[in-house]
Structure formats: C-alpha cells, structure tokens
C-alpha cells in the first residue's frame, strides 16, 4: 500500500521529521514560513493529511477547497481555535490535537511569568545588561512576594491543575478557580483548591489571576475592561492561553493606569504583531508564545500527531480526535 501523502506546515524537531519520512510521503515547508491561505487551500487539494500549527488559520474558506483530497488535519498543538471545526466536520475532515504532553511545560511558563513580573525579573535583567546597575541597596527593585499569595485560575483543565500543583505545594499559594465544567470533586480536593461561583469572584479575590481557558468565539475578550476593573490594584494577570481571551487594548490601559499591578503574557491578540504599547511598559513581562517550547515537549507533540494520523490511516479512531 502506498504511503499517505502528507504536508507538514512548519518545521518539526529532527527526530519527528525522521519518523515522518519513514511513515509518510512527506513534504516539509522547507523555509518554515507561515503559510498563506492560498497555500493551505492547495495543501487540502493535494495531500491526504495536513499537519498544521497555531500559525495556520484553517478557515471555512480554506476548508472550501475543491477538489478536496485531505482527510485529516493532525494539529501540532493542543489548542485548535485556528481551525474552523464546524467547517472541517461539514467536509468530513477528521481533526486531532496533542493534549497532555505539553501540560507541565506550559504550566512552567505560567509560573515563570508569574515570578518574572512579580519579582521584576525581565526588568532586572534589562537593568544589568544596560550597564545601569550601580549595586545593591535596600530599596532597589522591590517587587511583590509570590509565596503564600492567592492564585486564581480561570479554567481548571490540565494546564491550570498543573500550575495549581506547582503553586500550592511549591509556593504555599491558596488556589481558587472558576470553570463551568469543573473536574471531579476528588481532583479538586487533591489540589486543596476552592471552587468559586463566578469569574468575577476569582478576579476580586486573587493576587495572581492565570488564564487557562481555551481560545474560542465564546471566550473572545472574556477578560475585558469591566472585568479587569474588578482585580485588586496589587494583582497580576498571567496569560498563557490565547491572546484574544483578553481585550489587549483594555489590558494595556489597565497596565498604563496601574489599576492592576502587572501582567505576564505569552500570547497576544494578532501575534506576532502585538500591541506595541506593551513594549513601553515595565510592569509587563513578555514572552514569545513559549508555553510548550522545550525539545522534550515539542518532540512528544510531533510523535503524538504521528500516532494520531497513523491510527487514522490504519482505520482506527485516533486517540485525540476532536471531530
């Protein structure tokens, strides 16, 4: 039997590309550029499987490609808000994602951002590199203590729970959360977490608010000006979920006016073209969407895509079937 014809939209770690070559008649996007809508449409016309990432908007228009050859989108990533799932379903295309394998590394980045912004890590590093540092003194770069402060999680899925574990058992942080679909009681109890009745409740009470809800139409600007206004002036917002879960203009205003103390961001509306206003502020720590960016995790993500797609072509239901 001939190998399925596969297109991988961005370059993957070496070990995964080697595996792809074994199992598929594979084409790589050699120069690793973000693909255009027309290129993606062509991919759906010419390949049995396309393996996209968060940088590939697979819109209803892309999915209207004719004639359609693609049978499965093996997404490299857990989030799939860049794929129009309903349109994929309507065209009979299976979609898979890569949960679990990136949970800890993404939670680590949320912890890093929390520490960076509260303890002024990025600012301090810039200070040393610029040559402006003149030495230790008692009031130099005082930040906010993290240990013992309340962490509020919006969304209590895998990544939020991994962060809760690190923060509660490592940093003595009381955990509060809101999730419309909470995990079983024993999971909540094992993390000694408190379930809140609303997002507003979390925002009012938390010293650090970390966002762990999926990107979706429903969650677009979930954190808007009105909700930001509920946060304590001493509180910090951490976003490792999706940029558009937060109204970035409203957040910038809150940071400029110091109605909240700071923010740690790994994701942005319209990334990589983030609102340039963030670059002017010291009370925000900025990372370039690094959540899952470790060699171990990226290899595990690639292998998980391969496992899902291989199962599909063997006539099985892929382990991480979204639709």
Residues with catalytic roles: 242, 271, 289
Q: Which is nearer to ligand DGY, 11 or 258 (CB)?
A: 11
- Residue 321 gets which letter from DSSP? B
Length, in residues, of the chain:
323
- Cβ nearer to ligand DGY, comparing 78 with 167: 78
Stretch that binds ligand DGY, among 11-19, 35-43, 71-79, 249-257 (CB under 6 A): 71-79
By CB under 6 A, name the one of 4, 52, 74, 79 that touches ligand DGY. Answer: 79
Rounded CA-CA distance 58/242 in Å is 16
What CA–CA distance (Å, rounded) separates 205 from 310?
47
CA–CA distances in Å: residue 77 to residues 34, 35, 279 = 15, 16, 27
Q: How far is the CB of 59 from ligand DGY (least distance, A)?
A: 16
Q: What is the DSSP string of 235-273?
A: -EEEE-S-GGGB-HHHHHHHHHTTSSSEEEES--TTTTS
| Residue selected from 49, 51, 65, 78 as contacting ligand DGY according to rule CB under 6 A | 78
* DSSP-derived 3-state class of residue 175: strand
Which range, of 43-51, 73-81, 186-194, 223-231, touches ligand DGY by CB under 6 A?
73-81
d(Cα 152, Cα 238) in Å, to the nearest integer? 10
Buried residues in 272-311 as b, exposed as e (16+ CB within 10 A): eebeeebeeeebbbbbebbbbebeebbbbbbbbbbbbbbb
Say which DSSP state 167 is in.
Answer: I
Span interacting with ligand DGY, options 25-33, 72-80, 129-137, 195-203, rule CB under 6 A: 72-80
For ligand DGY, give the closer residue by CB, 10 or 204.
10
The Cβ of residue 187 has, within 10 Å, a number of other Cβ atoms equal to 12
Binding mask 91-130 for ligand DGY (x = CB under 6 A): -----------x----------------------------
How many amino acids of this chain bind ligand DGY (CB under 6 A)?
8
Q: Is 163 in the site for ligand DGY (CB under 6 A)?
A: no
Least Cβ distance, residue 102 to ligand DGY (angstroms): 6
Stretch that binds ligand DGY, among 20-28, 75-83, 84-92, 162-170 (CB under 6 A): 75-83
Alpha-carbon separation of residue 102 from 97, 109, 231, 266 (angstroms): 11, 11, 29, 15
Q: Give me the 250-289 binding string for ligand DGY, x by CB under 6 A, dash otherwise.
A: ----------------------------------------
Q: Which residues bind ligand DGY (CB under 6 A)?
A: 53-54, 77-79, 102, 291-292
């Amino acid at each position: 039997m001939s190998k399925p014809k596969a297109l991988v939209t961005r370059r993957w770690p070496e070990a995964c590309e080697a595996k792809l070559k074994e199992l598929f008649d594979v084409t790589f996007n050699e120069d690793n550029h973000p693909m255009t809508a027309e290129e993606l449409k062509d991919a759906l016309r010419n390949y049995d499987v396309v393996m996209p990432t968060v940088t590939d908007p697979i819109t209803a228009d892309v999915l209207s490609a004719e004639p359609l050859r693609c049978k499965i989108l093996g997404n490299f990533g857990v989030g799939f808000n860049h794929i129009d799932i309903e349109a994929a379903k309507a065209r009979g295309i299976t979609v898979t994602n890569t949960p679990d394998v990136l949970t800890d590394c993404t939670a680590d980045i949320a912890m890093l951002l929390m520490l960076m912004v509260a303890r002024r890590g990025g600012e301090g590093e810039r200070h040393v590199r610029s040559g402006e540092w003149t030495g230790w003194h008692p009031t130099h770069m005082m930040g906010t203590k993290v240990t013992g402060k309340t962490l509020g999680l919006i969304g209590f899925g895998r990544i939020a729970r991994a962060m809760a574990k690190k923060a509660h058992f490592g940093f003595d942080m009381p955990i509060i959360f809101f999730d419309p679909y909470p995990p079983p009681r024993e999971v909540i109890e094992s993390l000694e977490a408190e379930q809140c009745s609303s997002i507003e409740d979390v925002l009012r009470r938390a010293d650090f608010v970390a966002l762990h809800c999926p990107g979706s139409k429903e969650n677009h600007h979930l954190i808007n000006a009105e909700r930001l206004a509920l946060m304590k002036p001493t509180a910090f917002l951490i976003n490792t979920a999706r940029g558009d879960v937060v109204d970035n203009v409203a957040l910038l205003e809150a940071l400029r006016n110091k109605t909240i103390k700071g923010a740690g961001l790994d994701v942005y509306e319209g990334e990589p073209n983030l609102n340039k206003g963030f670059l002017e502020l010291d009370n925000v720590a900025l990372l370039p969407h690094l959540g899952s960016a470790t060699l171990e995790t990226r290899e595990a993500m690639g292998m998980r895509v391969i496992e899902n797609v291989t199962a599909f072509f063997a006539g099985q239901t892929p382990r991480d079937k979204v639709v």
